[in-house]
Structure 1
Amino acid sequence: MIAKLTGLLDDTGADWAVIDVAGVGYLVHCSAKTLAAIGVRGDTVALFTDLQVSENDLRLIGFASGAERDWFRLLTGVQGVGSKVALAILSALSTEELQRACGAGDAAMVARAQGVGPKLAGRIVNELKDKAGGLPTAPGAVSVAPPGSVSADAMSALQNLGFKPQVAATAVAAATSELGDHAALNDLVRVALKRAAG
């Protein structure tokens, strides 16, 4: 099985990229978030991959992080979720947001993805809520907060205090979930510190 590709980004489309590995171009289907993260044509890229085999198709799926690949595998394990729907969900939601939605039973958040109706979103949330806490969201969780945002500043503060990026990201995500998206930096850091230390 092909687990990872490292090569030059040769071309991209709406939901795919071609990675040139030693002269061989691999067509890799990706989420919008992965495509945005891998750079521009000519850049050296490394993608985690999953090979989907069906009766009449071989499809290589690419991910910017191992966490995104783990979530893809979880999603495609849910009845009615194929690779296209899973990629649509991962295009609409970060791994952190997906983890939060499943953990909180928030089917409406999952239903924001193109092609995901309320019924399917409910099934996804119900089947994955017990598994949501066990999956890492990094490095996706670290890159979710836009630079200059309160969440990014809070993560930076925790890292400056010696916490690892994944611990800081998880703690800030939990604090944001508890306090809401418009929490003040001081409050966010205070609650995140309790979560990280606990």
Structure 2
Amino acid sequence: MIGRLTGTLAAVQPPQLLVDVQGVGYEVLAPMTTIFELPQLGGSVQLHTHLAVSETSQQLFGFIRESDRQLFRILIKVNGVGPKMALAILSGLDGAALARCVADDNVGALVKVPGVGKKTAERLIIELRGKLAPQTGDLGDIPLMSTNNEPKVDHSGEAESALAALGYKPTDASKMVARALKEQPEADSATLIRLALKSMAPA
């Protein structure tokens, strides 16, 4: 079992990261709440990891904080919630927002997450009740991947691709990014993703 990785951040293509650990590149899937807190490419990073093994694949998931990994493990124990859905939930809702959804029985906020239907949302609220300690904070205005000295890129296209990889329908991803662009027309791709996800989170 791989429980932690410490190495150099070699590449970021949300939700996938590549972490170089002494010459070995580990492909890691991470929620956007973790990606928002990553250093610039080439920087040192430490991730708490969870290895998900199925009949067809082995996937490594990484989290900046141990509490996020614990929350991920709680989520995948809920009937009908697999690693991909848990990743999408933690991309759109941090621990504090998820705790508020559970406390407020906010089914509407949970069904905004791709793949989460009403029954799954209701099951999440029931099974998570009492398991999430009250927390504060939101997605925050954390500086993201730097684009200094990089060639001009299609930030909106990258943001839409990342949202699609998290499970959002292409048409929905396009609309989310369009709304984010109205808020910050000059935003880079990572900021567009943050704004798009934040618009889906409960108030």
TM superposition score category, shorter chain reference:
0.5 to 0.7
In the alignment, the residues of structure 2 paired with residue 108 and residue 14 of structure 1 have an alpha-carbon distance, to the nearest angstrom, of 25
Corresponding position of 2:97: 97
Q: Give, as a single letter, the amino acid of the residue that structure 2 aligns with 1:42.
A: G
Answer yes or no: is 1:115 the counterpart of 2:115: yes
Answer yes or no: is 1:128 the counterpart of 2:128: yes
The answer (yes or no) to whether the contact 1:103–1:132 under 8 Å persists in 2 is no
In the alignment, the residues of structure 2 paired with residue 71 and residue 108 of structure 1 have an alpha-carbon distance, to the nearest angstrom, of 20
TM-score, normalised to structure 1, is 0.67
The answer (yes or no) to whether the contact 1:104–1:129 under 8 Å persists in 2 is no
Corresponding position of 2:22: 22
In the alignment, the residues of structure 2 paired with residue 35 and residue 97 of structure 1 have an alpha-carbon distance, to the nearest angstrom, of 17
In the alignment, the residues of structure 1 paired with residue 140 and residue 30 of structure 2 have an alpha-carbon distance, to the nearest angstrom, of 21
Q: Please provide the CA RMSD for this pair.
A: 1.9
Shift >6 Å, 4+ stretches: none
| SS of equivalent to 2:35 | helix
Corresponding position of 2:33: 33
In the alignment, the residues of structure 2 paired with residue 69 and residue 46 of structure 1 have an alpha-carbon distance, to the nearest angstrom, of 13
In the alignment, the residues of structure 1 paired with residue 59 and residue 32 of structure 2 have an alpha-carbon distance, to the nearest angstrom, of 17
Cα deviation, residue 143, structure 1: 6.8
Cα deviation, residue 112, structure 1: 2.2
Cα deviation, residue 120, structure 1: 1.0
In the alignment, the residues of structure 2 paired with residue 112 and residue 143 of structure 1 have an alpha-carbon distance, to the nearest angstrom, of 17
| SS of equivalent to 1:46 | strand
Question: Higher helix share goes to which structure?
Answer: 1
In the alignment, the residues of structure 1 paired with residue 138 and residue 21 of structure 2 have an alpha-carbon distance, to the nearest angstrom, of 26
Query: Which ranges of structure 2 fall in alignment gaps of 5 or more residues?
Result: 143-202
Cα deviation, residue 107, structure 1: 1.8
The answer (yes or no) to whether the contact 1:96–1:144 under 8 Å persists in 2 is no
Q: Greater relative contact order: 1 or 2 (C-alpha under 8 angstroms, separation 6 or more)? A: 2
Cα deviation, residue 142, structure 1: 5.6
Cα deviation, residue 41, structure 1: 1.2
Give % identity: 37
Corresponding position of 1:3: 3
- The 5 A counterparts of 1:1-198 are 1-133=1-133, 141=136, 144-146=139-141
Change (3 A) 1:9 1:143: farther
| SS of equivalent to 2:36 | helix
Cα deviation, residue 2, structure 1: 1.1
Q: Give, as a single letter, the amino acid of the residue that structure 2 aligns with 1:34.
A: T
| SS of equivalent to 2:9 | strand
The answer (yes or no) to whether the contact 2:28–2:62 under 8 Å persists in 1 is yes
In the alignment, the residues of structure 1 paired with residue 84 and residue 43 of structure 2 have an alpha-carbon distance, to the nearest angstrom, of 26
In the alignment, the residues of structure 1 paired with residue 16 and residue 63 of structure 2 have an alpha-carbon distance, to the nearest angstrom, of 11
| SS of equivalent to 1:37 | coil
Query: Which ranges of structure 1 fall in alignment gaps of 5 or more residues?
Result: 148-180, 182-198
Corresponding position of 1:161: none
The answer (yes or no) to whether the contact 1:50–1:60 under 8 Å persists in 2 is yes
